[in-house]
Amino acid sequence: MPFIMVIYYIICAYLLAMLIWNFIREDKSVDKMLQYLLIMIPLILRLFRAK
């Protein structure tokens, strides 16, 4: 896998980690939690290289 692609996977993983962190801390708005989950979909699939 090219080095640049590896970095992009790391960027995706970092963003996913921040989203999970915010998701866990969010205890008021269900709407906001749904938004976090929505954003996580492509990131998780990208990291697992699922098509």
Partner 1 sequence: MQTQIFITFLVIIAAYTIAKWRKLSVEISMFLAAVAGGLFGAITNTPRLSQLARHLVEGSFTYLDVMLIFVTATIFMAIISESGGVNYVVKNVIKYFYNKRLIVLLLLMLITLVPGALTGAGSVSLLVVGAPVAMALGYLGIKRKKAAAILFIVAGLSAAAPPVNIWAMILSAGTAIPYVGFELPLGIPVLILGTFTVLVLGWKKEEKSDLESALKQMPDIPKGMKWWRVFIPFLVFFGLVAALRVWPFSLPIIGLPLQFVIAAVFALLLSPKKINILRLSRDTVKKLTPLLATMIAVGMLQQIMTATGVRGLISYTVISIPLVLLFISLAVIIPVSEGVFTYGGAAIIGIPLVWYLDSIGLHATMAIAGLSLIWPLGDGLPPTALIGRLSVMVSEYKKSYWSFLKSTWLPWVVITIVGILMVVFSSQLDFLVKWSM
Q: Cα(12)–Cα(43) distance, rounded to whole angstroms?
A: 6
Q: Cα(6)–Cα(8) distance, rounded to whole angstroms?
A: 5
Smaller CB separation from partner 1, 1 or 4: 4
List residues near partner 1 by CB under 8 A: 4, 7-8, 11-12, 14-15, 18-19, 21-22, 31-32, 34-36, 38-39, 41-43, 45-46
Smaller CB separation from partner 1, 1 or 31: 31
**Amino acid of residue 37:** L
Smaller CB separation from partner 1, 1 or 34: 34
Query: Would you state the structure tokens that stand for residue 17, as one six-digit string?
Result: 């980690």
